[in-house]
Amino acid sequence: MGALTGKAGLVTGAGSGMGRAAALAMAREGAAVVLVGRRVALLEAVQREIADFGGRAVVYPGDVTDRAVAMGAVDACIAAFGALDCAFNNAGGHGDPAPIDATDDDDAVIDLNFRAVMWGVKYQVAAMRRKGRGAIVNNASIFGLKGMPGIAAYCASKFAVVGLTKAVALECAGAGIRINAVAPGGTETPNFLRVMDGDAHAMDAMVPMGRIGQPDEVARAVVWLMSDAAGYVTGSVLSVDGGLSAG
């Protein structure tokens, strides 16, 4: 029996990085998973990985900045698996660092990192209220807890995710629905490697543990927050950053 046996969930941005790792971890712990994202080939590859170890997954392609996609992903999970028990609102990213007065992608960053999460939470909560239980995990960031020059819109969007998580956790505390967030530090994902010009060790000296994180380390935190083992945890932000935010 896995920690999520008998549960059905969804993951946004499930084709790579932390989303892929979380989807695989959820499936290994017994959950059936809807894989949400824009790049169908990547989602189908994750679906095959899950099938290879006997898990269940379906692909739901779409851009989560469209609120209709957020709603449709919830409906797809219920149609495929009969329920929505858990969700990881993971999709996110940012452009190349630049001072705020030299950026032109602010709206896109806010849409992807915050509004997509808000739409997800909105429709996930509505479905979970009908069942009287559920667990949602939002992907914030260490930069939802502290500032960083050059990524102002990203920091603002991730601080907003933390605020959303805490506010909705209070709204749902009596409804059997728990809502938490993870706040990863530097994690070896395709986007991290792009920003760091392929150098996976560029941040190592900044991290108290001397290395950046791996996607599966974030995924294990996500699964724990979804599981009954975290049954008294709601409105929390769990840092998964090798101690970087502790200083």
| CATH code, 182 | 3.40.50.720
Give the pLDDT of residue 198. 84
Confidence of residue 66 (pLDDT cuts 50, 70, 90): very high
Task: Indicate whether 239 belongs to any domain.
Answer: yes
Q: Is the pLDDT of residue 68 over 80?
A: yes
- Token pair in block for residue 131: 């069942």
Task: Indicate whether 2 belongs to any domain.
Answer: no
Give the pLDDT of residue 53. 97
The tally of domains found in the chain comes to 1
Nearest 5 degrees, angle CA 37-CA 182-CA 157? 65
**Domain enclosing residue 99, as ranges:** 8-246
Comparing 32 with 205, which gets the higher pLDDT? 32
Task: Indicate whether 179 belongs to any domain.
Answer: yes
Comparing 132 with 193, which gets the higher pLDDT? 132
Single out the residue of 113, 123, 166 nearest to residue 10, CA to CA. Answer: 123
pTM (global) more than 0.85:
yes
Rounded CA-CA distance 190/194 in Å is 6
Task: Indicate whether 1 belongs to any domain.
Answer: no
Segment 115-142 mean pLDDT = 97
Catalytic residue among 60, 123, 154, 232: 154
Confidence of residue 197 (pLDDT cuts 50, 70, 90): confident
Give the pLDDT of residue 214. 94
Rounded CA-CA distance 105/108 in Å is 5
Residue 101's Cβ-side half-sphere holds a number of Cα atoms within 13 Å equal to 0
Task: Indicate whether 107 belongs to any domain.
Answer: yes
Segment 79-84 mean pLDDT = 98
Comparing 101 with 137, which gets the higher pLDDT? 137
Task: Indicate whether 114 belongs to any domain.
Answer: yes
Give the pLDDT of residue 210. 95
Task: Indicate whether 3 belongs to any domain.
Answer: no
Segment 119-145 mean pLDDT = 97
Segment 197-214 mean pLDDT = 88
Q: Are 123 and 70 in contact (CB under 8 A)?
A: yes
Q: For the segment 236-246, what is each residue's pLDDT rounded down to a tens digit? A: 999 999 999 99
Q: Is residue 154 among the annotated active site residues?
A: yes
Query: What's 93's DSSP letter?
Result: -
Average pLDDT, the chain: 95
